[in-house]
Amino acid sequence: MLGKTHHYFSFSNPLVFRLKMGHKIKKIRMGLNKIIAEKDAFNLNQQTNFSSSSRSIWRETHSHVHVSEIIGREMDRDVIVKRLLCPDADKNPFIVSIVGIGGIGKTALAKLVYNDERVKLHFDSRIWVCVSDEFDPKIILQKIINSKVTSAGGSRYDHKLKGLSQGDSISVLKKVFEEGHGSMMNPEILEIASQILDKCRGVPLVVRALGGLLCSNTDIRYWRSIIDEDILAVLHEEGDILPIIRLSYDHLPAYLKRLFAFCSLFRKDYLFNNIILGEYWIASGLISTSHNNQKPEEACNHYIKELLARSFFQDFEEHGQIFSLKMHDIVHDLAVSVAQNEYLAVNSHTASISDRVRHLSFSARSENPPNLEELPRDMWKLINLHTLGIMTKEKSLKNSGIEHLKSLRELRIVGCDNLETLFEGMNMEGLACLRRLYIVDCENLTSIPMSSLKFLSSLEALAIWNCGKLHLSMEEEIFFPCLRTLSFIGLPKMLTFPKWVQGAANTLQSVLIKNCQQLGELPEWLHRLSRLEALRLVGCDGISTLPDGVQDLTALKFLWIIDCSELGGKCLPNGPDWHKIAHIPNIKFDGEEIHKLFLLISTF
């Protein structure tokens, strides 16, 4: 990545979400433990015949909906609600199916019904579950049989969802245009748009896309050519939406086209987060900071909202400076089609891999992710591959061929539950270009010989998260000339701080240690990290004091001490360790607003 290097684990990173939710997760776990304790009283049996990876099947959607954003579906909502609340519904349960073409608003209507106050009052329990396009019907059927749903009486009601009326379509169009353009639609544009709407069949997704197009191009001559050339005839005659959405894509600026295509790496119905998506864009070198001297994070937020205004994203929800959004399935299909194999998410059905691929992810899109003992043969020619994400059921990646990917800049090993060893016996000299290494959620991983990583001379970010059985090796100093960010999360077997970290004493700027309860102390050589700017200690109850010399860390600007029961009190003003940290301009102890600091600060 050219220019300034963004630190994935800077204060603007995606860990904000994890830290923000930490206390809530603890409460949820307590509730789950209570349920487990009481299961015998309810005569419940544990089912073990399904893979734990089924989480990858269910669509990561939510049931929340802003009623004001859904136009023209009041009658459809009332019809379905009336059927659900009819007196005979309890005696004769039935299934309501919403039927219609893609983009017509089936999910939106389901959310509208789900959140209707009448439904909330009538039903004691409501559950929102969506199933993606890619799922195992045998497993779904088995779960239905086990739940005895099929033994219930009743029938099925198909609600056929039609397109919006012309009036409602115009209302949607105006809303999108005014929100994106910041002004009212002039009569001439509205007249032409109305003619185009005649052929949109009232499909909300198409209407919103048209509104986004109008925001970016108000040239009357262009829109008359759209009418004259009858570009929308394919929608009117065949109901094919993709060419119309493609029309919107064709009018994106080049920089937005690249960012949009990158989203093809995420599975359908993925719930995007501006922080995480922005970090991926930045890490992949897709963000230029030359425009208006914006910080990379600011540029990412601007681009995401620009894509949102053009209807490439939807379901926008804002939570302070964090916001989430989704991509419609049809829009995702477009992202896949325009990625041109530069971005590829591989599953067990992928026939071949183009040598043009630069970002590759082996993702679990089914309950059986590909078992990688060695990389596919055609990966040996991927000399341009920059990003590789691996999920495997294998116990080792030895002889996997990873070391041959000489252009690789980012390696993500995530959710490899059976992986026991990593990099042992592998020649890593070929990965001199690797900058980011993430090892996450490998619950049976026991060892990572750090000596095998000594050849990673370009490594800038190292993250090891949630590896419950991992014993970090204590080798002596290993030289990491570029390492700037280091993150240890959820490592209960880490008893002492690794000595090899001293090999980055002249470059390391950010250290995060979270939920490493057995870590007894910070190293006495901590003061050698002369460029350390941020030190975050979260959920480390074993650390009782700060080592001498912390006061000599003159570059240290940010210190977090969160949920550290022994250490927290000693570091307060007038505490025994206060003199060691009094020089640090930004100190955060336990508090509710820590995410604000996380988002406002960026290090380079």
pLDDT digits (tens, 9 = 90+) for 134-144: 555 555 555 55
pLDDT score of 156 more than 50: yes
What average pLDDT is seen over the chain? 74
Higher pLDDT, 261 or 366: 261
pLDDT score of 211 more than 80: no
d(CA 231, CA 224): 11
pLDDT score of 524 more than 80: yes
pTM tops 0.85:
no
pLDDT score of 10 more than 50: no
pLDDT at 545 (0 to 100): 93
Higher pLDDT, 388 or 476: 388
Dihedral sign for Cα atoms in the order 492, 496, 500, 506: positive
How many CB atoms within 10 Å of residue 565?
A: 13
Higher pLDDT, 114 or 201: 114
pLDDT score of 371 more than 70: no
pLDDT at 497 (0 to 100): 92
- The H-assigned helical ranges of 160-219 are 166-181, 187-197, 204-216
pLDDT score of 4 more than 50: no
pLDDT score of 294 more than 60: yes
In 3D, which of 522, 574, 579 has the Cα closest to residue 552? Answer: 579
Measured in whole angstroms, the distance separating CA 272 from the mean position of its chain's CA atoms is 5
Helix, strand, coil percentages in the chain from 3-state DSSP, rounded to 5: 40, 15, 50
Q: What 8-state DSSP symbol labels residue 167?
A: H
Is residue 492 very low, low, confident or very high in pLDDT (cuts 50, 70, 90)? very high
pLDDT score of 247 more than 70: yes
> 23-37, 64-78, 150-164, 311-325: which has the highest mean pLDDT?
311-325
pLDDT at 192 (0 to 100): 77
Region 232-251 average pLDDT = 66
Unique residue bearing structure tokens 């000339």: 481
pLDDT at 511 (0 to 100): 93
pLDDT 10s digits, 121-135: 888 888 877 665 555
Dihedral sign for Cα atoms in the order 118, 119, 120, 122: positive
pLDDT score of 438 more than 70: yes
Region 186-197 average pLDDT = 78
Higher pLDDT, 465 or 103: 465
pLDDT 10s digits, 24-50: 455 555 555 554 454 444 334 443 333
In 3D, which of 208, 234, 227 has the Cα closest to residue 331? Answer: 208
**What DSSP string runs through 257-312?**
HHHHHHGGGSPTT--EEHHHHHHHHHHTT-----GGG--HHHHHHHHHHHHHHTTS
Which distant-in-sequence residues (6+ apart) come within 8 Å of 31 by Cβ?
none
